[in-house]
């Protein structure tokens, strides 16, 4: 059996690229030179102070921001009870390996006649099983897409519009705590407005209730009054091949694979309607060759087993966001 040719596979594959993996790291201390834990650190452009990427300091006050592209930057450290602290601007060169910048926080010195307590979520929150980036009413979400927002998430890399976690593509993207029905999530993230997102949760070690097949999860929580309107994605995988099967005792040569799919979604205010359909059709084969030696005799056996499979998959559903913590949904599949 010889493989003679491979016909026109229509596949959309990312091209490999070699990116400079420059990291910016350092240590954050308070006015007493003690490590400052869980401080929000933002890497911002030195030109316009636009946030590029972020991180949290650990228990020892250490932070690290990986995957930084060449350019001029500053670091901004923020923590409740301390002044916002900027570093001096620095330059990341194309041949840089690591950039180190330590930060010392100073207590806030504002004296107020009247104390007004305003609840405001920090940009980054570290919890036991996840890292949360709160983007609601934040400049991070202004004018950008969900894909651009994920670029600012610590540990998340976006290469050629493909989302990976520290280089690992085994990553599930959920919306509102559920696996998405979309076949092309990268297209969805590219078209989703950032100002419709409340927060992004990076769950690196999902518990059993997530049923994530062992991989990490990026859970995008939309605002309850999100008005995304009508969106949809379509995809097609088509491939074929030719094999010389004459030595298997058959004239079969051509095999193919066809897999079209369509996903539609409509969301307005507290209602979300979705549907998806995919069709799978392929032909394949298996060949088993056995040579048996019994004494001086040799027995040759060749088994050729062709197969064909077809399937239709569809589902329809609706979600109603009753309250902040209550969602009522129905799913038909």
Give one DSSP letter per residue of 50-73, joined into a string: -EEEEEE--TTSEEEEEEEPSEEE
**90 burial level (CB within 10 Å; 0-12, 13-18, 19+):** middle
10-residue stretch averages of pLDDT, the chain, 333 residues long? 42 41 87 88 84 85 87 87 87 84 83 54 77 75 73 75 68 79 71 78 76 72 73 83 79 85 84 86 84 84 84 85 80 77
Task: Please give the distance of CA 29 from its chain centroid, rounded to a whole number.
Answer: 32
CB 218 within 8 A of CB 172: yes
pLDDT at 236: 87
Going along the chain from its start, the domains and CATH numbers come out as 21-114 (2.60.40.1120), 120-223 (2.170.130.10), 230-332 (no CATH)
Residue with tokens 């239709």: 312
pLDDT at 112: 53
pLDDT at 84: 86
pLDDT at 15: 36
pLDDT at 194: 76
pLDDT at 5: 41
Please, what is the Cα angle at 145 between 80 and 322, to 5 degrees? 75
How far, CA to CA in Å, does 119 sit from each of 116, 238, 252? Answer: 10, 53, 70
Tell me if the pTM is above 0.85. Answer: no
pLDDT at 4: 43
Q: How far apart are CA 187 and CA 333, in angstroms?
A: 24
pLDDT at 13: 38
pLDDT at 28: 92
pLDDT at 62: 92
Q: How far apart are CA 276 and CA 297, in angstroms?
A: 58
């Amino acid at each position: 059996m010889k493989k003679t040719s491979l016909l026109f596979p229509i596949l959309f594959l990312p091209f490999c690229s070699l990116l400079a993996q420059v990291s910016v790291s350092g240590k954050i201390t308070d006015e007493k030179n003690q490590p400052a834990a869980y401080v929000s650190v933002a890497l911002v452009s030195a030109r316009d102070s636009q946030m590029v990427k972020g991180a949290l300091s650990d228990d020892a006050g250490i932070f690290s921001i990986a995957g930084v592209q060449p350019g001029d930057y500053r670091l901004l450290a923020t923590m409740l009870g301390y002044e916002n602290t900027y570093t001096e601007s620095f330059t990341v060169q194309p041949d840089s390996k690591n950039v180190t910048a330590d930060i010392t926080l100073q207590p806030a010195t504002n004296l107020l006649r009247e104390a007004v307590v305003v609840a405001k979520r920090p940009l980054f929150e570290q919890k036991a099983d996840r890292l949360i980036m709160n983007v609601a009413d934040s400049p991070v979400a202004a004018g950008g897409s969900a894909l651009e927002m994920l670029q600012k998430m610590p540990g998340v890399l976006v290469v050629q519009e493909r989302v990976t976690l520290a280089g690992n593509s085994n990553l599930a993207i959920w919306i509102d705590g559920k696996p998405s029905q979309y076949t092309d999530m990268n297209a969805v993230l590219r078209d989703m407005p950032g100002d419709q997102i409340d927060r992004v949760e990076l769950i690196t070690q999902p518990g059993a209730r997530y049923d994530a097949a062992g991989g990490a999860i990026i859970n995008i929580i939309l605002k309850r009054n999100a008005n995304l309107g009508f969106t949809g994605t379509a995809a097609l995988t088509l491939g074929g091949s030719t094999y010389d099967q004459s030595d298997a005792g058959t004239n079969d040569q051509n095999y193919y694979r066809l897999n079209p799919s369509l996903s539609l979604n409509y969301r307005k205010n507290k209602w979300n309607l979705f549907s998806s359909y995919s069709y799978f059709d392929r032909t394949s084969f298996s060949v088993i060759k056995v040579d048996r030696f019994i004494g001086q005799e040799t027995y040759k056996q060749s088994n050729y087993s062709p197969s064909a499979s077809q399937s239709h998959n569809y589902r329809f559903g609706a979600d109603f966001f009753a309250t902040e913590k209550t969602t009522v949904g129905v799913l038909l599949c």
